[in-house]
Amino acid sequence: MDHFQLRDGIVHCENVPLPRIAEAVGTPVYVYSSATMRRHARVFREALQPLTNPLVAYAVKANPNAAVLATLAREGLGADVVSGGEYARARAAGTDANKIVFSGVGKTADEMKRALAGGLCQFNLESIEEARMLSDVARSLGQKAPAAFRINPDVEAGSHAKISTGAAHNKFGLPIADALEAYRQGRGLPGLAVRGVAVHIGSQLTSLDPLERAFTKIGELIRALRADGHTIATADLGGGLGVPYNPAQPPPPSPADYGAMVRRVTEGWDVRLIFEPGRLIVGNAGVLLTRVIRVKPGLLHPFVIVDAAMNDLMRPSLYDAWHAIEAVVPAGERRVANVVGPVCETGDTFATARHMDRVEADDLLFFRTAGAYAATMASTYNSRPLTPEVLVDGDQWAVVRARLDVEALIAADSIPYWLQP
């Protein structure tokens, strides 16, 4: 459920009509609903009951805006971070250090040092080589770093190939067959306290089966590790639960179904469970608001050219992702059209032959499910400044990332002395 609804013929975000934001801030602009984020955080938590003291560490990569992080920190969520930058953002937004999990396939010594200095729940290590580096860094600070190994369970997630991570040929985690040896070596590293296992097999999963297969393997591994004398106190089950994008397709499993599966599979594990949901929390809490520049005729269908482009929302061009596109003030008439941005690539296509609201130049459209992996993946390609972001909470709204103008982009470059006139 989300809070972008038609009211008196105009789509609102909570109590704020979207045209009000478009007029004040300009377009394109991302708009986030606080109520939707809070609701999703609560629904996920409720789905996990009655697990004892699970840690829900929101995957910051999905949407790292400071206002989003502050909203979720107030809800008591922790953070799953994958870079020094994400760690710093989470701390700056008020996330409790003890609720931060540091994942990521290529942590640097500097990133490890910063996280150890600031404190965290645990590092999820992806190799024995990384474990050695962390041990050295922790020792140099006189600490023992809390850690888990991320296991690659060799399970096909069944999601888009670019966002599946749990198959043996993917770059992520330790092969499950090497796990016992890695934990043995990890135990011998003086700067490490290895006390957990972690797994994450991919994103936008629309079936619970691959997750269940992966978790079952993790359960077996925990038993084998304990039999080998290791203390296993945490099991991080990652994120990955899909959200609905296309209402014509069957909805993904609900958080309640996911929670029930997790409780069944992890029965008797005797660990603190950690979860890293990203998309589930913020995906449907955001829209990208855009204005139609013009409509031009096409061979088969008209091209609706909007002022948002692939640089603002990469998902359609990168993963062939489907986002609902609707008029902010629907007139009732519909037609088939292509929706494209102004960037000079055919890949800058949001929808082809889409049955959608009829719109004309200057009308407002919005892309749904643009709260996750949207603003954060934007670039300035074609010298288009990054899209601003707005947070709504009831009747209130605020710009939570300003629109930087082209002058700021130009000012970030410099012309070397030998090219100066």
Look at the block and give the residue holding tokens 């000079």. Answer: 344
Amino acid at 22: A
Candidates 214, 227, 101; CA nearest to 151 is 214
We find the least distance from the C-beta atom of residue 172 to ligand LLP, in angstroms, to be 8
Active site residue 344: yes
Calpha distance 407→117 (Å, rounded): 37
**Which window, 173-181, 200-208, 396-404, 405-413, contacts ligand LLP (CB under 6 A)?**
200-208
Task: Please answer whether residues 96 and 117 qualify as being in contact, where contact means their C-beta atoms are separated by less than 8 angstroms.
Answer: no
203 binds ligand LLP (CB under 6 A): yes
Look at the block and give the residue holding tokens 């502050």. Answer: 70
We find the least distance from the C-beta atom of residue 254 to ligand LLP, in angstroms, to be 14
Calpha distance 364→18 (Å, rounded): 9
Calpha distance 213→193 (Å, rounded): 28
Residues 96-125 that bind ligand LLP (CB under 6 A): 103
Which residue lies nearer to ligand LLP by CB, 211 or 222? 211
Cα 361 to Cα 34, 296, 330, 364, 365: the distances in Å are 31, 10, 14, 9, 11
Candidates 128, 227, 234; CA nearest to 179 is 128
- The catalytic position among 344, 412, 415, 419 is 344
User: 56: exposed, middle or buried (C-beta count within 10 Å: 0-12, 13-18, 19+)?
Assistant: buried
Beta strands in 230-333 (DSSP E): 234-236, 272-275, 286-296, 303-306, 325-327
217 binds ligand LLP (CB under 6 A): no
- Candidate residues 28, 78, 253, 277; the one interacting with ligand LLP per rule CB under 6 A: 277
Which residue lies nearer to ligand LLP by CB, 64 or 277? 277
**Which window, 58-66, 208-216, 290-298, 406-414, contacts ligand LLP (CB under 6 A)?**
58-66
Which residue lies nearer to ligand LLP by CB, 238 or 330? 238
Cα 332 to Cα 37, 176, 318, 325, 381: the distances in Å are 30, 55, 32, 14, 35
Candidates 33, 119, 47; CA nearest to 79 is 119
Beta strands in 250-313 (DSSP E): 272-275, 286-296, 303-306
- Candidate residues 200, 217, 230, 384; the one interacting with ligand LLP per rule CB under 6 A: 200
Which residue lies nearer to ligand LLP by CB, 4 or 172? 172
We find the least distance from the C-beta atom of residue 41 to ligand LLP, in angstroms, to be 13
**Which window, 139-147, 273-281, 301-309, 380-388, contacts ligand LLP (CB under 6 A)?**
273-281
**Which window, 11-19, 224-232, 236-244, 401-409, contacts ligand LLP (CB under 6 A)?**
236-244
Calpha distance 215→27 (Å, rounded): 43
We find the least distance from the C-beta atom of residue 283 to ligand LLP, in angstroms, to be 8
Calpha distance 76→60 (Å, rounded): 14
- Candidate residues 278, 286, 330, 341; the one interacting with ligand LLP per rule CB under 6 A: 278
- SS3 (DSSP) at 28: coil
We find the least distance from the C-beta atom of residue 260 to ligand LLP, in angstroms, to be 18
**Which window, 4-12, 34-42, 211-219, 232-240, contacts ligand LLP (CB under 6 A)?**
232-240
Q: Long-range contacts for 94-100 (Cβ within 8 Å, ≥24 apart)?
A: 94/69, 94/70, 95/69, 97/121, 99/55, 99/57, 100/57
- Candidate residues 2, 276, 363, 389; the one interacting with ligand LLP per rule CB under 6 A: 276
Residues 329-368 that bind ligand LLP (CB under 6 A): none
Candidates 392, 351, 280, 403; CA nearest to 28 is 403
**C-alpha atoms less than 13 angstroms from C-alpha of 139 in its C-beta half-sphere:** 10
How big is the site for ligand LLP, counted in residues (CB under 6 A)? 20
86 binds ligand LLP (CB under 6 A): no
80 binds ligand LLP (CB under 6 A): yes
286 binds ligand LLP (CB under 6 A): no
- Candidate residues 38, 315, 368, 384; the one interacting with ligand LLP per rule CB under 6 A: 315
Which residue lies nearer to ligand LLP by CB, 198 or 400? 198
Calpha distance 142→244 (Å, rounded): 47
Which residue lies nearer to ligand LLP by CB, 121 or 364? 121
Which residue lies nearer to ligand LLP by CB, 95 or 204? 204
238 binds ligand LLP (CB under 6 A): yes
We find the least distance from the C-beta atom of residue 59 to ligand LLP, in angstroms, to be 3
- Positions marked active-site: 344
Instruction: Name the site residues for ligand LLP (rule: CB under 6 A).
Output: 59, 61-62, 80, 103, 163, 200, 203-204, 238-240, 276-280, 315, 319, 373
